[in-house]
Every structure is written in structure tokens, then in C-alpha cells.
A and B are shown apart, each in its own frame.
Chain A
Amino acid sequence: MSKKVQAIYLWWHKPVIDQELLQSLPNLKVIANSGVGMDHLDLKLVASFGVKMANAPRAVSSSTADTGMALLLASARRLVEGYHIAMSSGMEYCEADFLGVEVTGATLGIIGMGSIGYKIALRAKAFEMNILYHNRTRRKEQEEQAVGATYCEKIDGLLRRADFVMVVVSLTPQTHKLIGKREMELTKPTATLINISRGAVVDQEALVTALQTGVIGAAALDVTHPEPLPRDHTLLKLKNVIITPHLGIKTDKATYMITEEAVENMLAALNGLPIPSEVLPS
């Protein structure tokens, strides 16, 4: 059976691709990932077995951008808290005290302006948000103008001015703990951190401290490290935190499109053709 396997479609990081598995599948030609993140794969190891790899970057961007906006709005307007007040039996609260923060006209700082980050900018522009972005490379002028985005060469500039900080980078050795104690201390005390990239991009311990001591105002996390968090983790108990179970691309439409993209990649690899979304070990 194992000699027949030529392609693997990875769904939510399963199966785990390790030395043992790769050795047991001598005719494996391609591993196609569902989704865009490849941080769970040892790219060099896989390449050393002569196996090609591909991700699904096109299908994920709108759904993930939507998730980012959903979290931004839910956090700013205290939607989850509001839901509990409206639905619960006998919770006392004073209507006039229940206030959120305005989204329209606020400043959004996007860290990581790839295709997902850019789609977030397109959406945020419609909310008349002032958009700052930080990226490894600067986008073209027309792209910046189309969304009214201002480039911040240094992340500090973005952190100081943003009301909402949205993290949309790939997880790499360079972005590991990109947002740590130093970065959080630079943000406004009223700022909200939104993470839709990978849990490990944020220094989680530092985040807990920052939230508890009022260094930042709130957080909305679609990703954590690990997923799910241990049930006694402090992040689960903080009032100013929303956590969602890696909603990212969990829609019927996106999962369909991701699978289509993955199949395209696998068929190309099996037929010896150029792979549309090939990922090479850097």
C-alpha cells in the first residue's frame, strides 16, 4: 500500500510529516497543503526526499481577511460581552455604561501586507480607517494609493499610532515572537491587538502581562500557541480578550476552493508539470 502513495493532501497539519513517514513512502512525489501557512513542515527534510511541496495561497485570502475584520469589529464593539448580557438570565448592567470604541475613522496598523493583509486594507478603507502598514518590502505606489495605506519602514512608527494592530505575517524564524514586551509597550494603552497569523508570532506571556497591566487595551486572537490553549491558561480568563478556534478559512466556500487548488498542484506534480503554488525550502 505504501508504495502506491504518490501524493499527500495535508488537512489541518495531519498526517505529521516526519522522517519515518517519508521513508515509508518511497513513491511520494508531492505534499499539497490546505491553506497557506507552511510552518508545520520541515521544508528541507521533505525536499531532501525529492518530494515537492505546494500551498494554497489564493483560496485563503478573502476568508482570512474577513476573519480579521470580524475580530476587529467584535472586539471594538464588545460584541461577545454584549451577547452575554442580552442572552443571560438576570445579569445586571447599566446601559449607559456599556460603550465600545469606534471603528470608522480609527487607525489600523497592518503588520504583514501580503495578499491577506492587502485584502484587509481594502475592507478597512471602506470603514474610512486610516491605514498604516509594515512589511518586509514596500508595496507599489498605486497599490498604496488604492487603499490609502502609509508605509512604516520601522514597526515602531506603526505601533505608536495604531488603534488596532493586525498581525498578518507568515511564521518564520524572523517573525517568531515579533510582537513581544518591547512592541506592546510601544502601542497606545487603548490599542487592540488582533492576531490572525500564528500564535508563535506573539510572545504570549508578554501579552498576558500587557493585558493585565493595561499596557494594551484588548486582544482578539484567532490563533494561539498551542491550539487549543491549556484550559487553565490565563488568556481564557481575561475579560478584554476574544479567542476564536482558528476560524481563518473555515467556510464552506474556502475549503472547497482550497481543495481545488491543492488538487491542481498535485496533478501538476504527478504529471511532471510546473506546480502553480510550489513552495521551496528557502
Chain B
Amino acid sequence: MWYHRPVINEELLQSLPNLKIVASSGAGIDHLDLKLLSSYGVKVSNTPFVVSTDTADLGMALMLASSRRLVEGYQIAVSPDTEYFPADWLGAEVSGATLGIVGMGTIGYKVAERAKAFEMKILYHNRNRRNKEEESAVGAIYCKKIDDLLQQSDFVLLSVNLTPQTHKLIGKRELELMKPTATLINTSRGLVVDQDALVEALQNKVIKAAALDVTYPEPLPRDHPLLKLKNVIITPHIGSATKKTRRLMMENMTESIQAGLAGLPIPNEVL
């Protein structure tokens, strides 16, 4: 299964009596009704780990591109109207700034490893606290309450799974807790953010900017306000879009399928 297709519903499952396994590409499984699949005796697998470095890399790419105004800068550099580069045109520094990571799983931790090399101060919020060695390896400070993270961060990066608990995790209240100079970066799922609240926050300068690899839906309708805001970068869900990783994902999926068909323990099974 790639890009959430085909859609797995009751109708499809009834028409495929010998279906044994659904191997889904990527880490997220929010598009699958696990109970339904289980009721048909169909196993499920995903590819959670192989995507982690690429997604962490993209998170860093979005943070840097947003704060240094890379896309705007590119447009100035190539525009037919440009006569000179303005001297008073500035971005914000990434090195030494404070990064708040919401969701310190595999991907979140890899972001922390990268951010540390930029001498960033790292705060994190997670269901569970990481152990001391893991925290000190990246210099990350645990924020039991998400509010503390939101109030202190220059960049807030979301790398949680989409679950009923994380649905609209970042809404009006959370956005208002953030600094007016802060940037929201989302590489998890569009639905983790209350998109309407985000539009309002960006329009009213409640936060400074947003950089989103994921939205709801994907792609956004062409008249959506997010597409018109100058302080927003959107990329078309390319978190894992590299040749090498796609190949590895495919290898993982074939492994899972072969094990599933042979009745053997399935690597990367989702229970």
C-alpha cells in the first residue's frame, strides 16, 4: 500500500477472501482501521524506522528554510524585477535558538541530534520521559507540560503519531501560548494541528510563521488561505521522499509480505 491507496474498507475486504496481509508504506497507520482488518484476520505491517532520518532531515530543512527566508530569497534572486538585493532584508538565526520538540520518538530524537550540532537549546514534550543518558546525549530538557515548551520555544516541531489523543493537539490555546516570534513546523500529520486556528494565528501575527510538510487534506484545496500566506512554507508530504529510503521501504514491505504469506513472524507488524 502506497500513499494510502487502495482505501481499505469493508467492501474491499469482503471482495478479497484470501487477503492475508496489508503492508503499508511509511510510519503512520492513522489511515487504517486496525479493528476492521483484525476482524477479517488480516495482518498489518508498516515501515516505521527506515523513514526516520529522512523525516528528521526534512524537519531541519523546513526550520532552516523558514527562518532564513530561503523561498522568499530564491524568488527575489530569480525575479525579473530584481535590480539589487535589499540591505535591510533579514531572517532569524537558527544557531543558538530554542527548539521545542513535541513527540520525542525515533524521528523526534533524530531531530534533536541534528539540532544539537546547531547549538540549539532543546526542549521536548512526550508521553513518556526519555532516560537520562538519552536526554544528556542531546542536551534535551523534558517539559512535562506542553505549555512550558510552547512558551519558551523559538521553533516548535511536531513529530507525534496521529491518534485520537493527538488530534488537534495544537489548537488556538496552544498557538496563543507560543511566542509571537515563533515558527511552527509540522512533519507528522495535518490533523495534529487545528488548521483553521493556525490560519487565524498566522493572519493575526499570534505566531510568526509555519512550515508544513503535511496538511489536511493533502493537497489543500487551491483556494485555501494557507496557500496565500506569505509566512507559510508548504511541501507536498516529502518526508520520506528520497530514492534510497523508498527503496528500503519497499524492501521492508516485501519482507513483511513474504513472512505474512509464509505464516512466519512478521517484521514491523502493527498490532
Contacts and interface: CB of A to CB of B under 8 A. Distances in A.
B127 to A, nearest CB: 25
B80 A66 contact: no
Contact of A86 (B68, B74, B235): B235
Given A243-B78, A244-B77, A102 B93 contact: no
Given A77-B58, A122-B117, A252-B92, A99 B74 contact: no
Given A90-B222, A96-B3, A62 B95 contact: yes
Interface residues of B, number: 59
B253 to A, nearest CB: 14
B132 interface: no
A71 B92 CA distance: 15
Interface string A77-88: 111101101110
A251 B68 contact: yes
B64 A77 contact: no
Interface in A86-102: 86-87, 89-90, 93, 95-96, 98-102
Given A247-B70, A250-B91, A101 B243 contact: yes
Contacts of B74: 80, 242-244
B53 A96 contact: no
Contacts of A62: 93, 95-96, 118-119
B235 A79 contact: yes
Interface string B51-85: 00110111011101101111101101110101111
B202 interface: no
Contact of B242 (A12, A102, A126, A229): A102
B222 A89 contact: yes
Interface string A246-277: 11001111110000000000000000000000
Most buried by A among B2, B3, B90, B119: B90
Interface string B210-246: 0000000001101000010000011111100111111
Interface string B136-159: 000000000000000000000000
A140 interface: no
A70 interface: yes
A128 interface: yes
B99 interface: no
A50 interface: no
B84 A228 contact: yes
A244 B70 CA distance: 7
B71 to A, nearest CB: 5
Nearest to A104: B53
Contacts of B246: 99
Contacts of B58: 73, 77
A38 interface: no
Contacts of B113: 126
A74 interface: yes
B84 to A, nearest CB: 7
B76 A82 contact: no
Contacts of B77: 228-229, 236, 243-245
B172 interface: no
Contacts of A63: 93, 95
A42 interface: no
Contacts of B67: 251
A251 B243 CA distance: 34
A84 to B, nearest CB: 9
A254 B62 CA distance: 20
Given A73-B60, A95-B3, A101-B242, A66 B234 contact: no
6 contacts: A71-B70, A77-B58, A79-B235, A86-B234, A98-B236, A252-B92
Interface of B: 2-3, 53-54, 56-58, 60-62, 64-65, 67-71, 73-74, 76-78, 80, 82-85, 87, 89-96, 113-119, 219-220, 222, 227, 233-238, 241-246
Given A62-B95, A70-B68, 13 more contacts: A73-B60, A73-B64, A73-B65, A74-B61, A74-B64, A79-B70, A82-B235, A102-B53, A102-B57, A104-B56, A228-B83, A252-B93, A253-B92
